[in-house]
Structure 1
Amino acid sequence: MKNIIWDFDGTLFDTYPQMVNSFLLALNKMHIDDFEIDEYEIYEIMRRHSLSIAIQKYSAHFNLDPEKLRKNYSHFENQNVLNAKPFQNAESLLKNSVDNGMKNFILTHRDQETLFKLLNNNHLSKCFEDIVDKDSDFPRKPNPAAINHLIEVNKLDRYATMMIGDRIIDIKAGLNAGIKTGLFDPDAIIIEKSNADYQFSNMYDLNLFLNDSKKDK
């Protein structure tokens, strides 16, 4: 592989602890007690589906206003997520890939301001050639439009490009764009068949794979 398009949350950065905690705080603010909440279930829904599905499910279950729940969640998450860190070995993987002549890109549903704060705080901004975020004018994954944009604007070889993410929508987006795909599933929580070309449980193995794929080219 010469080019990697990365998802951000749950792939490069382990943001789910902050996201789940923010969701719990949002429910608490709406007078839902901790003993009524299954923290791991929230995580499962976010990883297997999305934040929106979690809001939909818990709003219906507790008879809450979904827009108010989303607003409360955002209030807490905007600050909490800044404490998130890259997954173990992600920093060395990115810097090693750049040293080896590979190009990295990000395709994320996260907002630009928070994304760059996290990248800058961890000295990783220079590892990426181009980024498509929530503020970009593209349909959400699994629509391949954003991937196609990155490929066309940056003149990438589609057959030497891979999409790596932690959710099924990342894999579907890559497949829809006609590129290779890699599922990053560190806790083996994805039970739906992903159809990904490759699957990884940690950044160390992913780094070995990228090094080997670079040699093959």
Structure 2
Amino acid sequence: MDKQLLIFDFDGTLIDSVPDLADATNAMLTTLGKETYPIETIRNWIGNGSRLLVERALVGKVKVLEGELTVEEADHAEQIFFDAYKNLSGSKTVAYPDVDNGLKKLKDAGYTLALVTNKPIRFVPKILQSFGWQDLFSEVLGGDSLSTKKPDPAPLLHVCEALNVSPEQAVMIGDSKNDILAGQNANMDTLGLSYGYNYGQDIRELNPTEAFDGFADLVTWIMRDKA
């Protein structure tokens, strides 16, 4: 693939962090004296950053209506969630199959790798370190690194500017509509992965440039011109 910069999403693309996020969510709900939820329910609330996950858990559904929660309620709950997640962050989080080897293969082939996640940045370095990936990415942005996050194109364009790469020379790779829309909004090619967290929607419905069912297939496709 004749591109220079590969921008990856994190949760649902490189790592499966649902077990830890679900545990933290249920710990928060328990602390607040509320009903907890099975992991499969919580899985559908993940992908838009911690604030929306917390709000969805508090009301028990994906769509949070205006006026259902006060800012104070959500702030308080989010702080409890952060404390719970910090204490178990990474204990059940695993890399998806072929990701570790695939990332190193792409880096060795000369691609520049970057990470743009909606996860709060404070939790990212520890997880990267746990997999030994801290030196793979030339730029790392969290959901609160800038004033806006995916699907807004700003984080992707920020990374391009920081690394002096034009959006035409970059690709956004992710598992959810936030990733594909962010890439499309930034006028860059997008590669979708079908195994992550996309609210029950097939990633192919969002018309990424290409879509794959496994990370190894993605790597093979990217590197097909390097053979």
Q: Give the TM bin, normalised by the shorter chain.
A: 0.7 to 0.9
Query: Which of 198, 201, 210 does residue 190 from structure 1 map onto?
Result: 201
Query: Which of 182, 188, 191 does residue 179 from structure 1 map onto?
Result: 188
* Counterparts of residues 71-150 of structure 1 (less than 5 Å): 71-83=79-91, 84-150=93-159
Aligned AA (1:132): L
Classify the secondary structure of the residue corresponding to 1:139. Answer: coil
CA contact (8 A) 1:45 1:51 kept: no
Equivalent position of 2:65 in the other structure: none
Aligned AA (1:2): Q
Q: How many pairs does the alignment contain?
A: 212
Residue 2 of structure 1 deviates from its aligned partner by 2.8
| Gap change, CA 1:115 and 1:4, over 3 Å in 2 | same
CA contact (8 A) 2:50 2:119 kept: no
CA contact (8 A) 2:54 2:81 kept: no
| Gap change, CA 1:2 and 1:46, over 3 Å in 2 | same
* Percentage of pairs with the same residue: 21
Classify the secondary structure of the residue corresponding to 1:98. Answer: helix
CA contact (8 A) 1:110 1:133 kept: yes
Aligned AA (2:134): S
TM-score calculated relative to the size of structure 2:
0.81
Classify the secondary structure of the residue corresponding to 2:27. Answer: helix
Aligned mates of 1:45, 1:118 — CA distance in 2? 21
TM-score calculated relative to the size of structure 1:
0.85
Any unmatched runs of 5+ in structure 1? Answer: none
**Which deviations, in whole Å up to 9, do the C-alpha atoms of 1:68-96 show, x marking residues without a partner?**
33222212111222222322211101110
Residue 23 of structure 1 deviates from its aligned partner by 0.8
| Gap change, CA 1:85 and 1:57, over 3 Å in 2 | closer
Please, what is the CA RMSD of the aligned residues?
2.5
Aligned mates of 1:52, 1:134 — CA distance in 2? 10
Equivalent position of 2:59 in the other structure: 60
The farther-off stretch of 109-118 and 167-176 is 109-118
Aligned mates of 1:53, 1:112 — CA distance in 2? 16
Equivalent position of 2:29 in the other structure: 27
CA contact (8 A) 1:2 1:214 kept: no
| Gap change, CA 1:55 and 1:138, over 3 Å in 2 | closer
**Which deviations, in whole Å up to 9, do the C-alpha atoms of 1:82-137 show, x marking residues without a partner?**
22232221110111001111110011223334211111222111111122224533
Classify the secondary structure of the residue corresponding to 2:89. Answer: helix
